[in-house]
């Protein structure tokens, strides 16, 4: 299924056209930009340890929870004016809760083990994506018409983290209705990348990515139906995990899932240190954790590693940056030299239809025949319908309360056929079969996280289909861990997606721990 000459010509024209338009856009945007700002380096050593280690230090009374929470509040206050990641804080309440934790530890007579077992994250600060219900905090998903919506209860996933002892510091920005990979909306504004504030932190969990990457949070929670955990994790140099579907509850988020979206949406941990991924997943999974056998030891030498360097040349998606191809090759070389394994390079011809496959699957009805809620319905203004073309006209005049991305998605929805194309459904079946066969029960696959290293602000408008590199694994229903791999020549995070078979999340999580050791994991953007 190689591309025909005509297809290659079409692609070339499309890319050249996009480049010219973006260059023109940049020229205009440059005149309005206030320039990139450098984040201050992290000076407090408390900010340089994992959540797991912080919890242990708190339990052992080496440090108080109040000290830890205060250290994170100080860092957020230092960086947030530059990155606009935390959109509403609860610092006073968090400090009170931390004081209660310290009191509880003073009074606990059962010993450290009891606390570790019952409250593994006791006293550790947590950030939460704003689209999740967190009691007493806004839950708008960046929608102006939801201004003032305050959660009365916690989303089940957030509740589990709180019951494990984590202390939420606030909620973080996302794209409008969580359906874009730049975190910008008309309610809270635009979030910036801590490594270069002229660049995107990704989306939709971009506030999480940005605050974690900047050292203003150590553990957080995100959601992902097309890459919304993995893209921000990649662009901000942190870890993120999209679990096997059906393991972590997606309830208590806005917008709620409909159609088959529940099968594709993943709620999962985002964090700076790989050792926090597994304990967080265990907590988030609740009773479902047993289905993942997370305590079984993984011997990396016994795994089969597979590497897919690119999607094979999609007409719609950009080619993968050279530095990303090179770093994935370095991972392969490292695995072979260090573990003595042979990494097999694979190519799946269907991957070049990743966007079309994702799009076709997203339109399918649920098992009762109910189609997904149209995107435009979520945009509606207190029951008043939003007309995408009218909204576009308003946007041009600067009068719309929606982002161009949301308007664009509503327009696309308006013109596209509601019947998924059978060709793409067939491609998905074939890809699923081949992927499952390749992964088996001991396979781990490396795949680029995105074609580009963190792009400039607004660039996704010109490359809207690039999320297909992550989106394809949502519809394939496999777990994926996003791993940082150091910085590019330009000082921006590099990374890779690590994919494993269904219910075998522990394989990609173990690989993440290994890659952190080998490639250095998260770096302080202030010192890099």
Ligand X SMILES: CCCCCCCC/C=C\CCCCCCCC(N)=O
258 is known as an active-site residue: no
Residue 157, φ and ψ in degrees, nearest 5: -65, -40
Q: Does 132 bind ligand X (CB under 6 A)?
A: no
H/E run at residue 10:
helix 5-32
Of the candidates 293, 255, 486, the residue with the CA atom closest to the CA atom of residue 372:
255
Binding status of residue 408 toward ligand X by CB under 6 A: yes
Task: Indicate whether 454 belongs to the interface with ligand X (CB under 6 A).
Answer: no
* 392 near ligand X, judged by CB under 6 A: no
Among 464, 477, 486, 526, binds ligand X (CB under 6 A): 464
Q: Which is nearer to ligand X, 64 or 228 (CB)?
A: 228
Which of these is catalytic: 140, 157, 204, 217?
204
Q: How many whole angstroms separate alpha carbon 141 and alpha carbon 139?
A: 6
What is the nearest approach in angstroms of ligand X to the Cβ of residue 205? 8
Taking CB under 6 A as the binding criterion, the range among 40-48, 407-415, 433-441, 451-459 that sits at the site for ligand X is 407-415
For ligand X, which is the closer residue by CB, 52 or 463?
463
Determine whether 428 is an active site residue.
Answer: no
Beta-carbon contacts of residue 377 (< 8 Å; ≥ 6 apart): none
Pick out residues in 150-169 that bind ligand X (CB under 6 A).
none
Q: Is 114 or 414 the residue whose CB approaches ligand X more closely?
A: 414
Q: Is 204 in the site for ligand X (CB under 6 A)?
A: yes
Neighbours of 149 (CB within 10 A): 14
**Span from 47-55, 191-199, 400-408, 506-514 in contact with ligand X (CB under 6 A):** 400-408
Span from 8-16, 393-401, 461-469, 484-492 in contact with ligand X (CB under 6 A) = 461-469
Of 60-68, 448-456, 462-470, 507-515: span binding ligand X (CB under 6 A): 462-470
| 259 lines the binding site for ligand X (CB under 6 A) | no
Token representation of residue 24 = 């023109």
Of 186, 169, 168, the residue nearest 177 (C-alpha): 186
Is residue 277 part of the contact set for ligand X (CB under 6 A)? no
How far is CA 436 from each of CA 19, 227, 246, 346, rounded to the nearest angstrom? 37, 20, 18, 13
DSSP secondary structure, 368-433, as one string: TSPPPPPHHHHH-BTTBPP-HHHHHHHHHTT--SS-HHHHHHHHHHHHS-SS--HHHHHHHHHHHH
Integer Cα distance of 344 and 321 in angstroms: 21
Which of 57, 129, 242, 428 is catalytic? The answer is: 129
Taking the complex as a whole, how short is the minimal distance between the CB of residue 270 and ligand X, in angstroms?
13
Q: Which residue is nearest to ligand X (CB)?
A: 408
| The one segment of 76-84, 243-251, 464-472, 476-484 that binds ligand X by CB under 6 A | 464-472
**Euclidean distance between CA atoms 202 and 460, whole angstroms:** 9
Shortest distance, position 289 Cβ to ligand X, whole Å: 24
* Residue (146 or 291) nearer to ligand X, CB: 146
Applying CB under 6 A, does 226 fall inside the site for ligand X? yes
Residue 318 annotated as catalytic: no
Looking at 46-54, 66-74, 109-117, 405-413, which segment touches ligand X (CB under 6 A)?
A: 405-413
* 181 part of the interface to ligand X, by CB under 6 A: yes
179 binds ligand X (CB under 6 A): yes
Q: How many residues bind ligand X (CB under 6 A)?
A: 19
Residue 88: partners with Cβ closer than 8 Å, 6 or more residues away:
130, 137, 138, 170, 171
Q: Is 227 in the site for ligand X (CB under 6 A)?
A: yes
Element (H, E) at 315: none
Does 405 bind ligand X (CB under 6 A)? Our answer is yes
Closest CB 286 distance from ligand X, rounded Å = 22
Closest Cα to residue 260, out of 399, 363, 128? 363
224 binds ligand X per the rule CB under 6 A: yes
Residue 75 or 459: the one with the smaller Cβ distance to ligand X is 459
According to the binding rule CB under 6 A, does residue 200 interact with ligand X? no
The answer to whether the beta carbons of residues 240 and 220 sit under 8 Å apart is no
Which one from 140, 228, 401, 508 is the annotated catalytic residue? 228
Across the beta sheet with 443-447, the strand order is: 86-89, 167-172, 125-129, 219-224, 266-271, 239-242, 480-487, 493-500, 443-447, 304-307, 344-345
Q: Does 48 bind ligand X (CB under 6 A)?
A: no
The reply on whether position 180 binds ligand X by CB under 6 A is yes
**228 touching ligand X, by CB under 6 A:** yes
**HSE of 514, CA atoms in CB hemisphere, 13 A:** 20
Least separation in angstroms between CB 450 and ligand X? 11
**Residue 118 burial (CB count, 10 A):** 13
Helices 65-83 and 91-107, axial angle in degrees (round to 10): 160
How would you write 352-379 as a 3-class SS string?
HHHHHHHHHHHCCCCCCCCCCCCHHHHH
The catalytic residues are 129, 204, 228
Q: Which residues bind ligand X (CB under 6 A)?
A: 178-181, 204, 224-228, 404-405, 408-409, 412, 461, 464-465, 467
């Amino acid at each position: 299924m190689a591309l025909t000459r005509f297809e290659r010509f079409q692609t070339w024209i499309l890319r050249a056209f996009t480049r010219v338009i973006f260059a023109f856009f940049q020229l205009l945007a440059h005149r309005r930009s206030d320039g990139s700002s450098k984040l201050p380096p992290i000076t407090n050593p408390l900010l340089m340890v994992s959540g797991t280690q912080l919890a242990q230090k708190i339990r052992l009374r080496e440090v108080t929870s109040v000290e830890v929470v205060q250290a994170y509040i100080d860092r957020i206050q230092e960086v947030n004016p530059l990155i606009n990641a935390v959109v509403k804080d609860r610092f006073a309440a968090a400090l009170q809760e931390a004081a209660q934790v310290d009191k509880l530890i003073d009074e606990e007579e059962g010993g450290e083990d009891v606390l570790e077992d019952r409250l593994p994250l006791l006293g550790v600060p947590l950030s939460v994506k704003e689209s999740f219900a967190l009691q007493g905090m806004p839950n708008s998903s960046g929608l102006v018409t939801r201004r003032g919506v305050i959660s009365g209860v916690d989303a089940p996933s957030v509740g589990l983290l709180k019951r494990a002892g984590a202390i939420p510091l606030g909620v973080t920005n996302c794209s409008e209705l969580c359906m874009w990979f730049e975190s910008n909306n008309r309610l809270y504004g635009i979030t910036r990348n801590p490594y270069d504030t002229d660049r995107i932190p990704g989306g939709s969990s971009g506030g999480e990515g940005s605050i974690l990457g900047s050292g203003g949070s150590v553990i957080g929670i995100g959601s992902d139906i097309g890459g919304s955990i993995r893209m921000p994790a990649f662009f901000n140099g942190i870890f993120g995990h999209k679990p096997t579907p059906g393991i972590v509850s997606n309830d208590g988020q806005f917008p709620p899932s409909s159609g088959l979206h529940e099968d594709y949406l993943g709620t999962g941990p985002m964090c700076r240190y790989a050792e926090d991924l597994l304990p967080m997943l265990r907590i988030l999974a609740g009773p479902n954790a047993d289905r993942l056998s997370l305590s079984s030891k993984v011997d990396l030498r016994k795994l089969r590693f597979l590497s897919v360097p690119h999607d094979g040349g999609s007409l719609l998606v950009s080619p993968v940056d050279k530095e990303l191809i090179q770093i994935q090759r370095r991972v392969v070389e490292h695995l072979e030299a260090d573990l003595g394994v042979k990494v097999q390079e694979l190519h799946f011809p269907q991957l070049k239809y990743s966007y079309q496959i994702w799009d076709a699957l997203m339109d399918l009805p649920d098992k009762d025949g109910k189609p997904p809620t149209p995107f435009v319905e979520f945009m509606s203004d207190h029951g008043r319908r939003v007309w995408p073309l009218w909204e576009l006209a308003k946007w041009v005049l600067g009068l719309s309360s929606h982002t161009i991305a949301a308007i664009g998605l509503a327009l696309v929805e308006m013109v596209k056929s509601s019947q998924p194309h059978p060709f793409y459904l067939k491609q998905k079946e074939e890809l699923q079969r081949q992927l499952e066969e390749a992964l088996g029960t001991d396979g781990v696959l490396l795949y680029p996280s995105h074609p580009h290293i963190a792009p400039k602000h607004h660039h996704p408008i010109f490359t809207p289909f690039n999320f297909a590199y992550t989106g394809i694994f949502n519809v394939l229903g496999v777990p994926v861990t996003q791993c940082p791999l150091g910085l590019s020549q330009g000082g921006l995070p590099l990374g890779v997606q690590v994919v494993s078979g269904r219910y075998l999340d522990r394989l990609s999580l173990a690989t993440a721990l290994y890659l952190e050791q080998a490639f250095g994991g998260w770096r302080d953007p202030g010192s890099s």
